[in-house]
Amino acid sequence: MSLRLGKRIATRFRNPNSQLCISLEVVLVDHIVQHIFGDVDR
């Protein structure tokens, strides 16, 4: 799943017209990572 997401982000980085989508996905990934690590800490 994360590999597919990484490929999607890489595709967006190659497309300069998708800066907004990149920002949104980076924020989303960051939120998911924080959620996962929060669960691990518990």
pLDDT of residue 39: 72
Domain ranges of the chain: 2-41
Place of tokens 């989508």: 21
Distances (CA, A) of 4 to 1, 9, 10, 32, 36: 5, 9, 10, 15, 18
pLDDT digits (tens, 9 = 90+) for 1-42: 567 777 776 676 666 666 766 788 888 888 888 888 887 665
Tell me how far apart the alpha carbons of residues 14 and 38 are, in angstroms, rounded to a whole number: 32
pLDDT of residue 1: 53
pLDDT of residue 41: 64
Whether this prediction's pTM lies above 0.75 is answered by: no
Tell me how far apart the alpha carbons of residues 16 and 20 are, in angstroms, rounded to a whole number: 10
Distances (CA, A) of 32 to 20, 29, 39: 18, 5, 11
